[in-house]
Amino acid sequence: MFFGPGCSPPKWGPILIPSLCLSPPSAYSGGMRIGIAGIAGRMGRLVVREAIAGGALLSGGTWRPGEVPPEGVAHYRDIAALAASSDVVVDFTHASTVQTHAAALAGAECAWVLGTTGLTAADQAAVQQATRRIPLVQAANFSPGVALLCTLAERLGAALSAEIYDAEILEMHHRQKTDAPSGTALALGAAVARGRGVTLDSVAVRARDGDTGARPAGAIGFASLRGGQVVGEHTLLFAAGDEHIALTHRAFDRAVFARGAVQAAFWVHGRAPGHYGMDDVLGTGGDH
């Protein structure tokens, strides 16, 4: 996001936008209605702040019984009602909601920004079905830096022989995270696999314990660490006998994910139905 001088910070409910004032890039346009699924959650609150700072109209959100949403937010009884009142819905909820959300958003012809990870094959099939009717930006990680890292991962996967360079991915997250490997780690692995002309499922090694034998040639290995309150750390390592190449991304504030999701929301508004990624939003190209 781009900020300019000379503006006082806007307020919304109890949320104070930082003292820098937004000067929206040309892709942003005021008046777009953003709805937020799971608005009372940690990511939902951050998306509220970034959406208002970007000049969008906040249509409201959904939240679970017992949660305390930001003050003054319109509450919708379900995702279908929220979709009917929004131009774009930003969704960082839970994999268990994805199929219901896909059907509701497609029915309302409401654009979708989806950051939920841990999806099953059936969940992803529902997402793909929805993209026949609506535009969707889906990403395991909305950080621009991670999107560019995935682009590099695919290029390195294509350039570095799988017979010589072993690909390993290490990720660490906070103790509350329930899925492993992380969606971002899997996205990096999928990028390497695309570069090598194989599917990730055919070469992924997600766990090692006991006498595992020698490492298979061409495998893409994963290791997951959990502890403390780490926002997210990912390292992609290509290890050969005579050199190592390591690419590392560390997120220090979840605001980077919310900012990227709002950028994606402005970008996807008015697009043709289809499945898009952060590489489309950033203009870096790539396959989905």
Catalytic residues: 173, 177
272 CB burial (10 A radius; 0-12, 13-18, 19+): exposed
In contact, 245 and 237? CB cutoff 8 Å: yes
CB atoms within 10 A of CB 219: 15
The one-letter code for the residue type at 6 is G
Could you tell me if 238 and 153 are in contact, meaning their C-beta atoms sit under 8 angstroms apart?
Answer: no
| Alpha carbon 232 to its chain's center | 12
Half-sphere exposure of residue 171, counting CA atoms within 13 Å on the CB side?
Answer: 25
Rounded Cα–Cα distance for residues 256 and 142 (Å) = 8
Radius of gyration of the chain measured on its C-alpha atoms: 20
